[in-house]
Amino acid sequence: MRQEARVYIVSDSLGETAERVVHGAAIQFEDRGVIKVERVSHVADMAGVDGVVERAAHERAVIVYTLVKPELREHLNEIATLRQVPHVDIMGPVLDALEEVLGISPQLVPGLSHRLDRDYFDKVEAVEFAVKYDDGKDPRGIRDADVVLLGVSRTSKTPVSLYLANHRLKVANVPLVPEIPVPAEVFAAGREKAVGLIIDPELLMSIRRQRLKTLGLGSSAQYATIDRIMAELDYAWDIFTRLKCPVIDVSNHAVEETASRVLELKRR
């Protein structure tokens, strides 16, 4: 029987930072434990802290918190220790270490990371760009793109494009289909922008068959046959060779891993 636990995320802002950390840790227990995450945002006073600790004290629970104000952090640590509730401070040690190294005090203003600054608007613009120029909808976007992803169907072009958009990169993606000529804009952009995505043929066949099943179609459609897949992959390699562009194998890799490799290529 799998063990169950709850994690309360306490923040004087949205709590997104702590939630990402918790999910990253929780995945290490996914086969043997059930971890329920509850976010308690915009905690502004000690009464709010007390309420969460009181709830956690009656459950098998952990409190993970990103509180900027020292008095709230200290209060949570004190009361959680008293009630024997496990608790982890994500923000405090980093703030303290930076203050020591820099020799200056932090602003201690909750929610600064979510300010509507230039970075935020650049991300929004990049996401809108990725949606507009997804799946080769309009090849004119290739000219303005920072990255052009090329690959056959089901090689994660769209999710990788959106992930990169959160790093403020404008990404256009173009499907490679033997019967459809590659837009001239791709060759004009050349190696500077193009990144090829490739995948193991057997894995691709499995993914495509699952896709057909989800759509209520038969798995024997040509789209999911190994002959068709090999023809498409051969065509893709021909395009990559002509462009002399870098190629990333996405087989059994998460979207984040593929996107990180694209970012590394861009940094080079």
**Residue-wise pLDDT tens for the chain (268 aa)?**
678 999 999 999 888 889 989 999 999 998 888 999 999 999 999 999 999 999 999 999 999 999 999 999 999 999 999 999 999 999 999 999 999 999 998 888 887 766 656 777 889 999 999 999 999 989 999 999 999 999 999 999 999 999 999 999 999 999 999 999 999 999 998 778 999 999 999 999 999 999 898 888 876 689 999 999 999 999 999 999 999 999 999 999 999 999 999 999 988 8
Same domain, 146 and 237: yes
Q: What is the pLDDT of residue 221?
A: 86
Distance CA 88, CA 76 (A): 10
Give the domain-ending residue among 76, 91, 114: 114
Query: Cβ of 85: how many Cβ atoms within 10 Å?
Result: 21
Same domain, 172 and 210: yes
Same domain, 37 and 142: no
Same domain, 92 and 126: no
Same domain, 87 and 134: no
User: Which residue range forms the structural domain that includes residue 52?
Assistant: 3-114
Q: What is the pLDDT of residue 16?
A: 86
Same domain, 128 and 250: yes
Same domain, 95 and 123: no
User: 55-74 burial, b for 16+ CB within 10 Å, e for fewer?
Assistant: bbeeeebbbbbbbbeeebbe
CATH number of the CATH domain containing 15: 3.40.50.2300
Same domain, 85 and 199: no
Distance CA 51, CA 72 (A): 13
CATH number of the CATH domain containing 205: 3.40.50
Give the domain-ending residue among 114, 129, 156: 114
Same domain, 40 and 140: no
Q: What is the pLDDT of residue 117?
A: 63
Give the domain-ending residue among 83, 114, 145: 114
Same domain, 66 and 178: no
Q: What is the pLDDT of residue 218?
A: 75
Q: What is the pLDDT of residue 115?
A: 60
Q: What number of CA atoms fall less than 13 Å from residue 6's CA on the CB side?
A: 15
Residue 2, both tokens: 């799998």
Strands of the sheet containing 33-40, edge to edge, are: 33-40, 3-11, 61-66, 87-89
- Domain total for the chain? 2
Residue 191, both tokens: 């190696």
Same domain, 34 and 103: yes
Same domain, 109 and 122: no
Q: What is the pLDDT of residue 258?
A: 97
Q: What is the pLDDT of residue 116?
A: 56
